[in-house]
Structure 1
């Protein structure tokens, strides 16, 4: 679900401005991704994590590893929504 949020007319996905998604990209791509940055974790804190679970099937098309993506909340010391638990070994 892409909606307006943040700055006027700024597209967002699950309360995350699309232009800021790149903050987490290094932590979910590549063979040996680094730990998520403080910026990435801050972004996840404001995100609607339940909403993000709906996008699990779209992630590979974006070259994002779903297992790594859905491990980010735990790595950022956030609670994983029940709706997302069990998605490829959270």
Structure 2
């Protein structure tokens, strides 16, 4: 668990320390993550479909890398529900990696 927390902290530090255009996690900038947040929100009323900006970002993202964060506590900092986030590739017409 300590390794997961340390990895999450490292990811957050990279995103927070660099300008949004330069910071990237799994080939997605902070702005791109935030474009997907409304459709993956950990609220009772997320948007029904991801935005075009979200789908564009996901199409360029390293989906295998993103899958490695599906149980990460840092998702809660972005108010992202992991199960809703895992549905986004399919909603964007993308194929999620196996075992994701």
- The normalised TM-score by structure 2 is 0.70
Aligned partner of 1:77 in structure 2 is 93
Deviation string, structure 1 residues 42-81 (Cα, Å, up to 9, x no partner): 0000000000011011224542111100000000000010
Give the paired residue count: 81
Matched-pair contact (CA < 8 Å) for 2:32–2:53: no
* 1:69 aligned counterpart, secondary structure: helix
Unaligned runs of 5+ in 2: 1-6
Higher normalized strand content (fraction of residues): 1
- The normalised TM-score by structure 1 is 0.77
More RCO (CA 8 Å, sep 6+): 2
Aligned partner of 2:4 in structure 1 is none
Unaligned runs of 5+ in 1: 85-90
Aligned partners of 1:21 and 1:61: how far apart in 2? 12
1:14 paired residue among 26, 31, 38: 26
Higher normalized helix content (fraction of residues): 2
Matched-pair contact (CA < 8 Å) for 1:44–1:73: yes
| Greater shift in the superposed pair: 74-83 or 15-24 | 15-24
Aligned-residue CA RMSD in angstroms?
2.3
Matched-pair contact (CA < 8 Å) for 2:37–2:79: no
Counterparts of 1:51-90 in structure 2, within 5 Å, are 51-58=65-72, 59-84=75-100
